[in-house]
């Protein structure tokens, strides 16, 4: 068959899967197909021949009606989507929906039809049922809104958790600072052996609590994406010897041979976040030390073949880890077995933090371990090496040998601190030293004293009433600039703060502090740092 008869065409239109309504130029209905008749609920005879406005009075003056008029008058083609058209035809896909007034969502094409040789045009309205699509869209939108809400709620909760932990850790650190400080001071008094032992327990427990607080705070900051990595130049050799030396005493006491090696091909100075790298090393070394009773612990740092990474490994001859546990030890609060806490202590957070820190540095950690033989934790991080520096010049202040108190430089210190307890602790630290301390209870007092007296160093607590340490530091630096004091002659300001978050530290440096000591301040640290500036 090469052509369709009129009857064929009419049947095709009538049986079409979309709704079709054809109007003549007087807006009378000339054709309604089966879909339209069925959905409208009218009989064919009620529709065909009747005027559009009498069958659908509710559509008069609506967008649909106007589009039909424009179609017949100006042969204008229109599309009315369900979102653009608030007045769809009263069409329903079943009786129930008709009763409750649930109309079919409609997508209308209003098409002018001109017939060859005739002047009067027709208007064909094609109606597609887009209900399913609309329902799907609606569901999707609802899901997206819900997902967004959940994300916002999760972010809020995570933020609240981080803020809570930060302020809680600050609150805990401050009294803990006093406890640890006092144990140092008490240690210098005449104690019986028994008292010494009690004090050691007190001190170790305090330190353990301090480490746990730091771990929890770190983890929450990493998880909330708040921990940014620094990119500074530092000496990997200094960092390594400083970190490993922290464990020499313990290794000696346990009879373990602790040593490290750094490949000659690695530059003196490399770029990265030295504080975080040290934290990773301390975590791995503490574990190695904790789980090794005899043999050796070896830390090696080598340049990878690609020369783009360095590989650091901490290897021990300790108890080892069963192979089925090798993956889970990197998860939070996971230990190889529950007796670990009883026997060795720890929270199971160390490796989680270590892994996340290494990932933030752009690296990955892996472990190779055999029960009874030992473990080897290795990680590769990007390497950026710089020209070798003259190694004689630099000495880290922590490596300084403190002179005997009587040989310590005579000096005038301004201590800006509002807490009587902290003042007391620092005073007891300096008891035997020729250090004269002047106290300012807030930033304003510190500023006033700085203007009228001469000091060698300012110890500045960052959180003080009236004027905080940041503002006082800024003001002091302004005065120095106004008096044309050279940077090299400006007064060292050592910030002391319980806020160890990176943003707080960088804010303090921006304000003009010279150095930073986190609370709890240790006697040796503060004295060495002061000695570093006084002896320079
Ligand atoms: P913890 O604070 O318990 O040490 P970590 O996350 O650092 O937490 O370590 C999780 C667990 O992995 C440890 O409890 C221990 O069972 C195991 N582990 C870690 N390092 C070693 C190691 N060097 N030798 C043996 N077991 C280890």
CATH label of the domain that carries residue 196: 1.10.287.130
Tell whether 258 and 208 lie within a shared domain.
no
Contact 375 CB / ligand 1 (< 6 Å): yes
Contact 313 CB / ligand 1 (< 6 Å): no
CATH number, position 474 = 3.40.50.2300
Strand order through the sheet with 269-272: 232-235, 269-272, 385-386
Contact 284 CB / ligand 1 (< 6 Å): no
Element housing 505 (H / E): helix 502-511
> What range defines the domain where residue 313 resides?
232-386
Q: For a pocket test of ligand 1, which of 332, 335, 341 has the largest count of ligand atoms closer than 8 A to its C-beta?
A: 335
Q: CA-CA distances (angstroms) from residue 104 to 86, 124, 231, 313, 479?
A: 12, 19, 61, 68, 77
Listed residues 357, 386, 415: the one ending a domain? 386
Q: Return the closest-CA partner of residue 422 out of 175, 209, 167, 202.
A: 175
Contact 55 CB / ligand 1 (< 6 Å): no
Listed residues 339, 365, 386: the one ending a domain? 386
Cα of 287 vs centre of ligand 1, distance in Å, is 6
Listed residues 197, 223, 249: the one ending a domain? 223
Q: Is residue 330 part of a domain?
A: yes
Q: Is residue 1 part of a domain?
A: no
Contact 286 CB / ligand 1 (< 6 Å): no
Contact 350 CB / ligand 1 (< 6 Å): yes
Contact 457 CB / ligand 1 (< 6 Å): no
Tell whether 33 and 110 lie within a shared domain.
yes
Tell whether 435 and 478 lie within a shared domain.
yes
Tell whether 243 and 375 lie within a shared domain.
yes
CATH number, position 119 = 3.30.450.20
Spell out, as residue ranges, where the chain has pLDDT lower than 70. Answer: 1-2, 332-347, 386-396, 488, 500-503, 536
Q: Structurally, how many domains does the chain consist of? A: 4
Residues in the chain: 536
Tell whether 236 and 218 lie within a shared domain.
no
Nearest residue (by CA) to ligand 1, atom 20, is: 287
Q: Is residue 496 part of a domain?
A: yes
CATH number, position 373 = 3.30.565.10
Nearest residue (by CA) to ligand 1, atom 21, is: 287
Tell whether 499 and 463 lie within a shared domain.
yes
* Radius of gyration, CA atoms only, the chain: 39
Tell whether 440 and 499 lie within a shared domain.
yes
Cα of 365 vs centre of ligand 1, distance in Å, is 14
Tell whether 238 and 379 lie within a shared domain.
yes
The pLDDT of residue 289: 94
Cα of 407 vs centre of ligand 1, distance in Å, is 44
Nearest residue (by CA) to ligand 1, atom 18, is: 287
Cα of 348 vs centre of ligand 1, distance in Å, is 7
- Dihedrals phi, psi of 137, to nearest 5 degrees: -60, -45
Tell whether 242 and 163 lie within a shared domain.
no
Tell whether 319 and 265 lie within a shared domain.
yes
Tell whether 252 and 205 lie within a shared domain.
no
Residues 6+ apart with CB under 8 A from 128: 18, 19, 106, 107, 109
Tell whether 288 and 253 lie within a shared domain.
yes
Ligand 1 atom, smallest distance to 349 CA? 6
Q: What would the pLDDT profile of 186-206 be if each residue is shown by its tens digit?
A: 888 888 988 888 888 888 888
Ligand 1 atom, smallest distance to 320 CA? 25
């Amino acid at each position: 068959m090469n052509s369709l008869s009129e009857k064929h065409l009419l049947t095709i239109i009538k049986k079409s899967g979309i709704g079709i309504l054809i109007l003549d130029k007087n807006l009378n209905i000339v054709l309604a197909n089966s879909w339209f008749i069925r959905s409208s609920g009218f009989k064919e005879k009620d529709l065909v021949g009747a005027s559009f406005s009498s069958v659908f009075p509710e559509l008069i003056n609506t967008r649909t009606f106007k589009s039909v008029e424009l179609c017949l008058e100006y042969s204008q083609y229109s599309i009315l989507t369900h979102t653009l058209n608030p007045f769809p035809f009263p069409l329903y896909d079943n009786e129930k929906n008709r009763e409750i007034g649930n109309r079919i969502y409609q997508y209308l094409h209003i098409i002018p039809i001109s017939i060859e040789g005739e002047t009067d045009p027709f208007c064909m309205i094609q109606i597609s049922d887009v209900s399913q699509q609309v329902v799907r869209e609606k569901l999707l939108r609802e899901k997206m809104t819900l997902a967004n809400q959940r994300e916002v709620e999760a972010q809020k909760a995570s933020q609240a958790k981080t803020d809570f932990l930060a302020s809680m850790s600050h609150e805990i650190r401050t009294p803990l600072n006093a406890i640890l400080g006092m144990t140092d001071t008490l240690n210098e008094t005449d104690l019986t052996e028994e008292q010494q032992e009690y004090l050691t327990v007190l001190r170790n427990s305090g330190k353990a609590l301090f480490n746990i607080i730091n771990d929890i705070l770190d983890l929450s900051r990493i998880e909330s994406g708040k921990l940014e990595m620094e990119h500074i130049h530092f000496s990997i050799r200094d960092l390594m010897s400083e970190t490993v030396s922290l464990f020499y005493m313990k290794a000696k006491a346990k009879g373990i041979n602790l040593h490290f090696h750094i490949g000659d091909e690695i530059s003196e100075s490399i770029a990265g976040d030295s504080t975080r790298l040290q934290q990773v090393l301390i975590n791995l070394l503490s574990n190695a030390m904790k789980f090794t009773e005899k043999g050796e612990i070896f830390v090696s740092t080598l340049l990878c073949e690609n020369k783009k990474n360095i590989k650091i490994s901490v290897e021990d001859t300790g108890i080892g880890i069963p192979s089925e546990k090798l993956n889970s030890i990197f998860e939070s609060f996971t230990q190889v077995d529950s007796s670990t806490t009883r026997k060795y202590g720890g929270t199971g957070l160390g490796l989680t933090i270590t892994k996340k820190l290494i990932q933030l540095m752009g690296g990955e950690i892996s472990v190779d371990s055999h029960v009874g033989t030992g473990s080897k934790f290795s990680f590769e991080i990007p390497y950026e090496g710089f020209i070798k520096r003259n190694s004689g010049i630099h000495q880290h202040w922590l490596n300084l040998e403190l002179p005997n108190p009587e040989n310590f430089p005579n000096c005038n210190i301004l201590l800006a601190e509002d807490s009587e307890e902290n003042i007391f602790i620092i005073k007891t630290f300096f008891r035997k030293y020729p250090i004269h301390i002047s106290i300012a209870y807030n930033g304003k007092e510190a500023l006033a004293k700085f203007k009228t007296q001469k000091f060698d160093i300012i110890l500045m607590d960052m959180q003080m009433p009236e004027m905080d340490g940041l503002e006082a530091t800024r003001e002091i630096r302004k005065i120095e600039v106004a008096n044309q004091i050279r940077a090299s002659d400006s007064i060292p300001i050592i910030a002391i703060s319980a806020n160890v978050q990176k943003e707080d530290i960088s804010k303090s440096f921006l304000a003009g502090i010279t150095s930073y000591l986190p609370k709890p301040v240790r006697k040796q640290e503060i004295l060495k740092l002061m000695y570093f500036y006084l002896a320079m």
